[in-house]
A and B are shown apart, each in its own frame.
Chain A
Amino acid sequence: MDRQLLIFSTLCFLAAVVRSSVALRARVFRRSRFNFGMILLGFLLQSAFLGLRGHALGRCPITNLFEVLVFLAWSIALIYMVIGPAYRLSLMGSFTAPLVFLLQSFALLAPIDAPRTGRVPPNAWLEFHASISLIAYGAFALACVAGVMYLVQERQLKTRELHSIFYQLPPLPNLFSAMLRLLWFGFALYSAGLISGFFTGEPLPWTKVTLAIVIWIAYAAILFGPRLCSMSPRHLAAFCVAAFAAALSLLWSIEFVAHHA
């Protein structure tokens, strides 16, 4: 039952992706309520899935890589819905939907939904640490999306080849400030997640801790880089994209290592 909810949720995000792609091909790329509606419906189905899983597990449903990816996709959709309309970045949905769709499709298709044997005793610190870190990843994902939008627009302006999507993208200064806000928000949550990890009472695997600190340092460098050296917004956007790609790979590695250990 819970997987069916997730399948329907993934189909909602796919609908948003298809709609944006068709509009892009027809060169009538516009903001639409349809996309926001589909993302909202997809988010509600995701929430229902996580609710059912959490109820069955008796704790926050992030016990394996499958659940981690779904929780990450849920945080991305959540943060988009909070910041998208507020910062008039509704077009971000057209960039967010493919990311969520890919994450959930991978989660559904890959054999990574390993069932837990027995109930895991609840651990408030551990659940706080894991969930807050994943929401931070969601913010980093959206900063990455804003970075991609920035790079696409910057490239078109430099090459003077202005496609239909150019006219729908938010102005460069708006994208830059949205990117910074998301980075700061994600960084604050990630720092809280990192610190809370030391209070879980669980043994601390050094690989996990080292990788987590590496990611923290990478984002700190991106945030403080422009103050220390003259890093341009274009470089910041590029680093933002690269850091999230690296962080996602590391997240997967951490789970992979933990699973095989």
Chain B
Amino acid sequence: MKLFCAGLNHRTAPIEARERFAGHAGTIARLREQGEVLLLTTCNRVEVYAATARELPTSEIAQALQLHGDDVAPGELAAFYRYENDQCARHLFRVASGLDSMVVGETEIFGQTKRAYEQARASGGAGAFLHRLFQRAFRAAKQVRTKTEITRGSISVGSVAVELAEKLFGDLRGRKVLVLGAGETSEKTLRALASRGVSDLRVTNRTAARAEELAQRFDGMAVPFTGWLEHCREIDILLSSTAAETHLVTPENLAPMIRHRVDRPLFIIDIAVPRDVAPEVNGLEGVYLYDIDSLQSIADDTLQLRRQQIAAAEAIINEHVADFSRQMAQFGAREQRVATLHPEIPATLRVSEL
């Protein structure tokens, strides 16, 4: 059996090309006649993994992935890569671990790979060979995730803010959040906070209608813009993103509000430019102020750290590739023996029985 993969991704082809070759179960049905075939499609890649008795040329795979059935131009074929045997295993292990992703270390690809495998298994596309290959890929990816820091931290400003809040308070359930300014950025961050269990949401805005609309959407409470400061006595997180040209929160107006809450930290996320919160506020006891630059800097550090962890992740993957290669060699030898003893049994049946 020949084990290989072929496809294109965000590095080898622009989105237009990926759209044209976004094949599905129907388009690759013809390939399945040749042996085990599995299709992995995400927004960044379209790949076919196969274990077949005869060699399938890349052009045939590209043709099968073509959505409109047109001929594949030679220029388009150049965007396809192809890996065989150990290289195919290494490529899949890197993909499942998030090393081949646009954002190194992202974990969504693991779930997408798993779903692709389950679909192929259910439809009969994945047999003994691909089963071994993908199970090994999942083990490798899990080990990469637990033994390295490649998936640690967040790399977007909003998620860094939410992660910090979670780190600071442990559990966000029951925490009180006040949103100052009901813009699009506030809404995104608010959505992320709500998804982590924050239930007491208060929104204030110069335009009261907009505050009410946003508060309603998140089952929160609209607060009059003239009285928002009073809420700082109770809240745990202040998310600020207004278009104000001067500082709305200063040590002078905040200090009296937090005087009696010494044992409860106040986390302030200021994602407005120009800033809504005076930087001196960070000097107040128990107040932790993060503006857009500090959040971006943490996101950059995380990305840097993830890149530093690539070598450690590659070492884990090398071990798994070596193991998989040995396993496949033994499997091949057993299959060969059966083929010699019982040439009447078809190859596909031999493989599935083994």
A residues with a Cβ closer than 8 A to B are 27-28, 157-158, 160, 162, 164, 166-167, 170-174, 176, 226, 230-234
Contact = CB atoms under 8 A, between A and B. Distances in A.
B149 A172 contact: no
A173 B153 CA distance: 21
A160 B294 contact: yes
Contact of A28 (B148, B294, B298): B148
Contacts of A231: 262
Contacts of A167: 152-153, 167
Contact of A230 (B169, B262, B297, B301): B262
Contact of B262 (A28, A173, A226): A226
Contacts of A160: 290, 294, 297-298
B263 interface: yes
14 contacts: A28-B149, A160-B290, A162-B298, A167-B152, A170-B170, A173-B264, A173-B265, A174-B170, A176-B263, A226-B262, A230-B260, A231-B262, A232-B263, A234-B286
Nearest to B297: A160
A160 B308 CA distance: 21
Given A27-B308, A232-B286, A233-B286, A172 B168 contact: yes
Given A27-B305, A167-B152, A176-B263, 19 more contacts: A28-B148, A28-B312, A158-B282, A158-B288, A160-B290, A160-B294, A160-B297, A162-B298, A167-B167, A171-B169, A171-B170, A172-B265, A173-B265, A226-B263, A232-B263, A232-B285, A233-B262, A233-B263, A234-B285
A160 B169 CA distance: 16
A232 B262 contact: yes
Contacts, number: 53
A65 to B, nearest CB: 38
Contacts of B342: none
B288 A157 contact: yes
Contacts of A162: 298, 301
A103 B289 CA distance: 39
A171 B167 contact: yes
Contacts of A28: 147-149, 312
A234 B290 CA distance: 19
B54 interface: no
A53 B305 CA distance: 50
Interface string B254-271: 000001101111000000
Contacts of B312: 28
Interface residues of B, number: 27
A166 B290 contact: no
B121 to A, nearest CB: 33
Nearest to A29: B149
A68 to B, nearest CB: 35
A171 B168 contact: yes
A157 to B, nearest CB: 5
Closest 10 pairs (CB-CB, A-B): A171-B170, A232-B285, A160-B294, A157-B288, A230-B262, A232-B262, A28-B149, A233-B263, A174-B170, A171-B169
A222 to B, nearest CB: 14
A167 B260 CA distance: 29
Contacts of A230: 259-260, 262
A171 B288 CA distance: 14
A234 B283 CA distance: 13
Interface in B278-304: 282, 285-286, 288, 290, 294, 297-298, 301
Contacts of A27: 149, 305, 308
Interface string B200-231: 00000000000000000000000000000000
B276 to A, nearest CB: 18
A190 to B, nearest CB: 23
Contacts of B286: 232-234
B167 A166 contact: yes
Interface in B161-186: 167-170
**Which of A166, A170, A173, A234: most chain B Cβ within 10 A?**
A173
Nearest to A177: B263
Nearest to B290: A160
Contacts of B149: 27-28, 164
